[in-house]
């Protein structure tokens, strides 16, 4: 019976380390692989044919080896982009090698027979668009903030006039700069008189500012829900911009109606896990006071006070004892 958990991630990934540690304690076989290591440190030979209608063969890293048929679950975290492996090549060679690796190695690893994915990369991609997230929240009956996606001054100014204080948010984080450093643009208030022709360059996300009384992070792993109310000591509009070690956390109960919607949300995208952010506008007992902001289908949770419990939930769902296969 298949029992190995394949952990697909980069070398430095503390979140994956937590889960691997829990699986090791349960004596669940684990193979960690970063597909961008393709080369002498990562080799493989995969086969399929009329006599064997599913992919089989062995995957070898510098320290581990696994037969594909032994893989019961795949924990897909944050592997290094394939392109990083081929940065030394010319542009044409780099793009060719990257595409071949992604479609060849990735094409097999993303289609392992009967393996449970947490989460499948294609599901993460589908669920990674904020417009799709907001629409699905609304379809499920959750409260969402009035939102505009635009690249025109006229639409932005009218939205601000209709909805009062307006926030600007990015769809994605900043990419790495020439020195390899990453950055962030936090949620911020914007004044209508600041809108100019630069808006036409790309898409912008504006939302009405919610008169919130607090923020909540809800982590859902399978059928288990972990919720923490979060506050920044300085009362920052976006709690992510400060020192996360200084954040104030308090357990909070998710209303049954909201919890049911989260299960439906994950199922609609084919997800097993997600990190949801909510803004509270009143008493936590009333589901109408829970405003859904976004869901990260591959979010971080190791910094939360209940990280140890979340780790065990991941180990449960990845291991055979927790139902590794769907």
- Residue written as tokens 């995969």? 46
Q: HSE of 106 in the Cβ direction (CA atoms, 13 Å)?
A: 21
Pairing mode, if any, of strands 42-49 and 52-61? Answer: antiparallel
Q: Which of 215, 174, 196, 237 is nearest to 304 (CA)?
A: 215
CA 305, CA 205: separation in Å to the nearest integer?
A: 31
Whether the predicted model's global pTM rises above the 0.75 cut: yes
Give the tokens for residue 263: 């299960």
Amino acid 324: pLDDT: 39
Q: HSE of 23 in the Cβ direction (CA atoms, 13 Å)?
A: 27
- pLDDT for residue 33 is more than 70: yes
What angle (nearest 5°) sits at the alpha carbon of residue 202, between those of residues 199 and 207? 65
Can you give the residue ranges of every domain in the chain?
A: 4-119, 122-143+211-297, 146-209
pLDDT band at 173 (very low <50, low <70, confident <90, very high): confident
CA distances from 173 to 90, 133, 181, 206 (A): 27, 17, 12, 16
**DSSP helix/strand/coil, 218:** strand
CATH classification for the domain delimited by 146-209, as one of 2.60.120, 3.40.630, 2.30.29, 3.30.1490 = 3.30.1490
**Section 209-213 average pLDDT:** 90
Amino acid 179: pLDDT: 66
- pLDDT for residue 321 is more than 50: no
Give the tokens for residue 173: 């984080």
What angle (nearest 5°) sits at the alpha carbon of residue 264, between those of residues 259 and 266? 95
Pairing mode, if any, of strands 214-221 and 273-280? Answer: antiparallel
- Residue written as tokens 């990190």? 275
pLDDT band at 1 (very low <50, low <70, confident <90, very high): low
DSSP state of 108: H
Listed in sequence order, the residues at least 6 apart from 224 whose beta carbon sits closer than 8 Å to its beta carbon are: 313, 316
Give the tokens for residue 133: 């997230």
- Is residue 71 within 8 A of residue 6, CB to CB? The reply is yes
CATH 3.30.470.20 fits 122-143+211-297, yes or no: yes
The tens digit of pLDDT for each residue in 268-304 reads: 999 999 999 999 999 899 999 999 999 999 999 998 9
Amino acid 238: pLDDT: 79
Q: Which residue has the higher pLDDT, 240 or 317?
A: 317
- Residue written as tokens 């009384």? 213
- Is residue 215 within 8 A of residue 229, CB to CB? The reply is yes
**Section 80-89 average pLDDT:** 93
- Residue written as tokens 């360059």? 201
- Which bin fits 276, alpha (ψ -120 to 50), beta or left (φ > 0)? beta
The tens digit of pLDDT for each residue in 145-169 reads: 999 999 999 999 999 999 989 999 9
**DSSP helix/strand/coil, 145:** coil
Class (C level, CATH) for 4-119? alpha beta
The tens digit of pLDDT for each residue in 96-135 reads: 999 999 999 999 999 998 899 999 999 999 999 999 999 9
In the chain the first and final C-alpha atoms are separated, in Å, by: 14
Amino acid 54: pLDDT: 93
Amino acid 247: pLDDT: 85
Amino acid 193: pLDDT: 86
CA 121, CA 35: separation in Å to the nearest integer?
A: 13
């Amino acid at each position: 019976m298949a029992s190995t958990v394949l952990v697909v991630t980069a070398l430095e990934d503390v979140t994956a380390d937590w889960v691997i540690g829990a699986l090791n304690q349960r004596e669940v076989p684990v193979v960690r692989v970063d597909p961008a290591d393709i080369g002498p440190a990562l080799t493989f030979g995969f086969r399929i044919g009329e006599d064997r209608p599913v992919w089989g063969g062995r995957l070898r890293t510098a320290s581990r080896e696994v037969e594909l048929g032994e893989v019961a679950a795949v924990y897909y975290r944050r592997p290094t982009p394939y392109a990083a492996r081929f940065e030394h090549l010319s542009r044409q060679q780099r793009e060719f090698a990257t595409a071949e690796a992604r479609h060849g190695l990735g094409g097999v690893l993303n289609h392992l027979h009967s393996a449970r994915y947490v989460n499948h990369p294609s599901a993460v991609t589908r669920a990674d668009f904020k417009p799709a997230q907001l629409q699905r929240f609304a379809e499920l009956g959750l409260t969402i903030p009035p939102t505009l996606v635009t690249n025109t001054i006229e639409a932005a100014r009218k939205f601000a006039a209709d909805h009062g204080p307006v926030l600007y948010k990015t769809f994605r984080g900043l990419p790495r700069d020439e020195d390899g450093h990453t950055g962030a643009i936090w949620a911020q208030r914007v004044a209508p008189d600041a809108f100019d022709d630069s808006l036409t360059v790309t898409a912008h996300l504006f939302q009405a500012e919610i008169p919130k009384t607090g923020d909540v992070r809800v982590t859902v792993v399978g059928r288990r829900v972990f919720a923490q109310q979060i506050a920044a000591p300085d009362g920052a509009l976006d709690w992510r911009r400060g020192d996360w070690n200084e954040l104030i956390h308090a357990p909070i109960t998710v209303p049954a109606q909201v919890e049911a919607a989260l299960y439906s949300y994950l199922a609609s995208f084919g997800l097993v896990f997600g990190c949801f952010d909510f803004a509270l506008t009143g008493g936590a007992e009333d589901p109408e006071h829970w405003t859904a902001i976004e869901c990260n289908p591959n979010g971080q949770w190791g910094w939360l006070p209940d990280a140890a419990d979340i780790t065990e939930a991941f180990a449960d769902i990845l291991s055979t004892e927790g139902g590794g296969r769907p």
